[in-house]
Structure formats: structure tokens, C-alpha cells
Structure 1
Amino acid sequence: MLKFSNFLFTESREPASDARVIRECLEEAKLCDELGVEVIWLAEHHFDGNCAYVDPTTFAAAVLAATKRVKVGFAVAQVSLHHPMRLAEQIALLDNLGEGRLIVGLGRGTAYNVYEYQGYGIDWQEAHARYAEAEAIMLKAWTSPEGVTHKGQFWDIHAPRLRPDCFTKPHPAVIRAASSEEGALHLAQRGLPFMMNVQSIEVTRQRLAAYRTALAEAGHDEAQVARCMAESWVWRNVVVAETDAEAERIGVPAFEAMQEQRRVMRERVYAEQGIRMVKETVPPARVQVETALIHGSPATVAAKMAEIDRTGVGGVICSFRLGPMPAEVANESIRLFMTRVAPEFQPRRAAAAE
């Protein structure tokens, strides 16, 4: 029962392009709604143009207003950069605007871009602790009719009941990001679904198998294991064209340019400040064409999606517009995917529903 979604994570290479790219993002969201995409995922990144609309909570309001059916999710909201009560309040409003179409993806924040923390005056080494404390506050704010009283490491809060009340009870659907196997297994212990970052198909198989095993070993019954698998997602960059050769021609240069764009600011900060959040001795899977990019004709891409389907995961987060790729090229890729790849999986969906 594989679901397909679009990660709307579009770069703007210079400030003069920002307004145009933001408009194009909204048009892409409307196209996805028309074509039957399951979820539009929104990112959060700051100061570098790698995510044109920057703020997923603000942009989600525009997407929800412009669409009718598609769900809107965060992949992810960088919780460590926000005041938890303010973020909980914004999400409650979005849940009402979308009448339950919101999926709240939560994470600590970037593991790579130190300047995002510096720009908000936050020590990046506090990110995980801030995230854990903030998540607990948000969950209490959404569910506690008597309000929130909290005294912790980062926040001292005494607030009445949060308003508006959530549309979804007890609160909007929440999913967490896990960039490592350790993180995925920790969520398995809690009986929670997760979002996996870009990995090779081999690592994807291994990690999902370990996650499924950990769910069972933690005492979760077969129904809960099935729910967690069905609500978990893996991420891939995807380019579809009429032929394999055409997909390679348009997809590989765009993917490589995207990776270079994301690397430049980190390297500039390292040269100026000597700060690097992650030391990588070999290029990770997320930046290599062979492991991070699915590209080809509809038949080729469908075969790759079938490999993912066999892992048992619930859905694929597809990034269609890569780097400097023009909007019209990405939109055609989305059309081909939804009209000639996604239908190949409909019999599986029908069989699963019977």
C-alpha cells in the first residue's frame, strides 16, 4: 500500500528570484493536489536560499488555502529554533485551517548548517536537548485543558489552555525524523513511526527490518507494528522523463548542482570560523547520484519504487524539483510520475484494502 508524496524543497539561487520561486512552489502544490499526490512535505532552512519559502508553518497556511485534498506535512519543523508554545499555537491554527490535513513532522534542526543556529542565537550543541524539551511542552499544550506549567532547562512556562483548540483530537498527526538507525530504533521502542533520510536501497532494507524487529521486541503487537510501518516514510530524489537517457540528461546535472549549492555555505563558514558540525570522511549516500537519485523512464522509476515497496514501508517522500531545475521540467516529471508510475501500485492498494 505504498503512498507517494512530494517534498517541496525548492532552492532560490539569488534574492532576486525569491518571489518567483515562492510563487512556483505554490503552483507546484496545486498541481500535486490535482494529480492525487498523498502529501506535500515542507522543509525549514534559513539564510542560504536552499529552501525558498524558509518557514513551513507560514507557507503551510498558503498551501492549505490553495488546495482541497492533499495533506500538508513538515519534513521537518526545526523545533530547536522555535519557542514551543508559539509553535504549538501555530500548528493548532494550521490544523483548523486544513480541517485535519496537517502532518506535524518534528526534528531537532539541521545536523549540517551551523549558521542556522547562529542566526537564531542558539548553541547548536543544545539542539537535541532543546528539541526533546520542546516536544514534551507542545504535546502537553495540545492535550492539557488546564494549561501548561513547565520549568525546565530552557523554558519556564505558566500558560492557560492553548487556543485555538486542535481540530484533530487529541492533536494533529505527529511524526519524527530519524537520520540514523539508532534514532529509528529509539522511536521503535516508543511505538512511533518515523521519516528516514536519503539512503541506499540496501541500507533502507536493513534499517526497516531492524525497526520492525525492535517494535516487536518492545512488546508492540502485530497491529501496532503494521501501523508504524504503514505510517513511516523514506526519502528519495526523483526525476521521470520519457526515456532513461532524457531523465539522466536533465536529472543528474540538477542533482549535482543542488548538492554543490548546499555545500558552499557550510564550507564558507568552516573557512571563516573553523566550525563543522559533521565530519565526513567519505561522501554520504544523500549526495551520491547512485544512491540518492532515482531517475529514468516511467518503467524504470516504477521498478525502483517496487524495490522500496517490498521493504514494507508506507510511503516515499519524492523530491522532484532539484537545484536549479526549471519549474516546468519538475512539473512534467510530477505528471509523468503520477499518471504512469503511481498507477502501477494501485492494484496493491486495492488488494490491501479488501
Structure 2
Amino acid sequence: MLKFSNFLFTESREPAMDARVIRECLEEAKLCDDLGVEVLWLAEHHFDGNCAYVDPTTFAAAILAATRRIKVGFAVAQVSLHHPVRLAEQIALLDNIGEGRLIVGLGRGTAYNVYEYQGYGIDWREAHDRYAEAEAIMLKAWTSKSGFTHAGQFWDIKAPRLRPECFTQPHPAVLRAASSEEGAMHLAERGLPFMMNVQSLEATRQRLAAYRARLAAAGHDEATIARCLDESWVWRNVVVAETDAEAARIGIPAFEAMQEQRRVMRERVYAEQGIRMVQETVPPARVQVESALIHGSPATVAAKMAEIDRTGVGGVICSFRLGPMPAAVANESIRLFMTRVAPEFQPRQAVAAE
């Protein structure tokens, strides 16, 4: 059945707000654990306050220590910004802290915010190649029992055996982001699941159908195809309230303010430096209310989730706290979703008995 998760991608608009928002993020994680949310996904973004806790590896340690059931995933770790052995080591430690509750979502890094690469002294045009080389190094680090060497474009490494070794053998579940259809097709050929960014329902249907067809064309059997679909996730922004009108009143302004906040820094950099990583002539689905925001009463949201369920994907990554939305409002949306929407798709999630 369709799985539901929370993307904890919370902004902090001013430095003076950071400490409070980070505390609220941790409380939201504990609420999700109590309500039976499947996975809590963490983002990685730097310098602009659009992801308050900034570093998913550090924050994952706090969440894993404060929760009991919920899995913690990266959506995604920006691999091109990290030394791969250091990141592999941190992930192995997290896997031990959570005793196997980690999903390692990997991606090259942002496709929009050039200042994140500049802040780390990395040429953004190297991001894809750095990611590919780093992922290969990380897999070597996790699986080698006697150390390994690597000579590549960006790193020359002679490393002893990684310690601690991963709690999950041979390593935690790894999930790759695919922001384009080309990326999804490449993963289909390898027989790997993927995470899809925000798309319209029609684009989601088309991409998943193409992904399924490419899996079959690549020679993967029905069991592999079913596993890949079950382990793949799509992302939506979600607001649930008692009525459709209340959800629209709460959700639409918060969503629009969030998109404007995310745009500001990259536009400032473009004005100052003339650098824009992506040229967009038409607003993409991820910034349009009609395609990117599911909002309404529990019945309305359940009907929209049922449409996603019929695509065959395994799970939905739901962003509940949008832009300047207060924590209490987001938490009530999560409660309504988990008690009145999620049970329509699977046996009722067990709420922790204290």
C-alpha cells in the first residue's frame, strides 16, 4: 500500500529565528514518530535559511537519538559538496545510532543555487562528475573489509577499512534523486528505485509508466520491477484542514511565500554575478499551486492521494510545513493527515502508548 512520509524542509527567514526553528523541527520529528509516519526526510541547503538545520547528517543524529521507530532519509545529501570518505564515515555512524533506520538519499547537489557551490569553493559545472566519483568511493568504503585505494579525477585515496562498519550490511539503503526523465530512465536500466521531484499528476503518471517500461526493456523481472516501484517516492506539498476552504486559506499563501523566499537569493546572485544555473522560460510544476500543492479536507486530500496511488509508486514525500507557516499549524495538518487520510490506504498506524 502507499506509504507516507514527511519532508522536514523548514525555512528560517532571519538568523535570530534559527535556534527556535531548529527546536521546532526536532519536535515535529518526534510528533511524526509518535503518529507512525514511515520516513522523515531531511534536505541539505546552505547560506539562505531555506533549510533551517542546513546539514542533514548532523541533524539526523539528533533525530535518530530522539525517536524510536521512524526512518530517517536524506532528500538529498548534496554529495558533490562533501569529501566522500568523510560522508561515508558519517553515514556509517548514523546507521549504527539508528540501528538500521537510515535511508541514504544521494544527489549531485542543487540545480538552482550557484551560491551553495561557491560557498564551498566548488565549480558547479563539476557537480555531476564529482557526484558520480564520490558515490563510487562511498560504496567502496562501505563494502571493503581490508581498505581500498582510488585514483580519480577529484580524489586520490588510500584508506584503511572504514570504522565503524555499517550496522546494515553491506550498507544502508541507498536511493538516488532523479529530477529529469533521463535520470529516471538511467536508474531504470540499472534496476534502481528513485526519488522524483515535484511534478504534475500527469507528468508523474507518464514518468512512472516510462520508468516501468524501461525496467522491463532492460531485462529486469517482474519481482525487480515491483520492488523498484515500491521503493520509489514522489514529492508533494500537503496541507490538511477540516474544510477545503480552511486548507486553501492556510496553504496557498504559505506555499506562495515559500516559493518567493527560495527565489530571492538566486535572483540576487544573478543580479550581482550574471550566473543562472537553469534558464526557465515557463514556471515549472514545482512552483505552481495547481501541480505542487495538495490542499483540502481529509476527504479531499485522500482522493488526491488515491490518484497518486494509482500511478503505482510506493510512497509520497509530503512537505507539511511550508514557508512561514507556524509550527502549530503544520503539526495539526500532520495529525489530520495521519489520523484521517493515511488510514484510507493502509492499516491504521499505531500511535505510541506512553
Give your verdict on TM over 0.5.
yes
Name the CA distance, whole Å, in 2 between partners of 1:245 and 1:232: 32
What TM-score comes out, normalization by structure 2 length?
0.98
CA contact (8 A) 1:150 1:157 kept: yes
Give yes or no for contact 2:342–2:348 (8 Å, CA) kept in 1: no
Question: Which residues of 2 match residues 164-243 of structure 1 at below 5 A?
Answer: 164-243=164-243
Match of 2:343 in 1: 343
Q: State the SS of the aligned residue for 1:346.
A: coil
Q: Hey, which bits of structure 1, 4+ residues long, moved more than 2 A?
A: none
Q: SS of 2:239's equivalent?
A: strand
**What residue number does 1:119 align with?**
119
Alignment of 1:101-120 (within 5 A): 101-120=101-120
Counterpart-to-counterpart distance in 2, 1:100 and 1:69: 10
Structure 2 residues without counterparts, runs of 5 or longer: 350-354
SS at match of 2:60: helix
CA deviation profile, 1:66-112 (whole Å, cap 9, x unmatched): 00000000000000000000000000000000000000000000000
Measured against aligned partners, the alpha-carbon deviations of 1:24-62 in whole angstroms (never above 9, x if no partner) come to 000000000000000000000000000000000000000
Return 5+ residue gaps in structure 1 as ranges.
Answer: 350-354
Residues in 2 aligned to 1:305 and 1:218: alpha-carbon distance in whole angstroms = 30
TM-superposed CA distance for 1:346, in Å, is 1.6
1:93 match: 93
Distance in structure 2 (CA, Å) of the matches to 1:55 and 1:160: 26
Q: In structure 1, the residue corresponding to 2:111 is in which secondary structure?
A: coil
Q: Distance in 2 between matches of 1:18 and 1:210?
A: 42
* Residue number in structure 2 paired with 1:156: 156
Deviations, residues 125-174 of structure 1 (Å, cap 9, x unaligned)? 00000000000000010001121200000000000000000000110000
Distance 2:30 2:208 in 1: 32
In the comparison of the two structures, how many residue pairs are matched?
A: 349
Contact kept in structure 2, 1:137 and 1:148, CA below 8 Å:
no
2: CA distance, partners of 1:347 / 1:40: 19
How far residue 347 of structure 1 moved from its aligned partner, in angstroms, is 5.8
Query: Does the 8 Å CA contact 1:88/1:141 hold for their aligned counterparts?
Result: yes
Secondary structure of 2:345's match?
helix
> Secondary structure in 1 aligned to 2:72?
strand
Matched residue, 2:137: 137
Equivalent residue number for residue 352 of structure 2: none
1:271-310 maps to which residues of 2 (within 5 A)? 271-310=271-310
Kindly provide the amino acid, as one letter, of the partner of residue 179 in structure 2. S
Partner of 1:352: none
CA RMSD in angstroms, aligned pairs only: 0.9
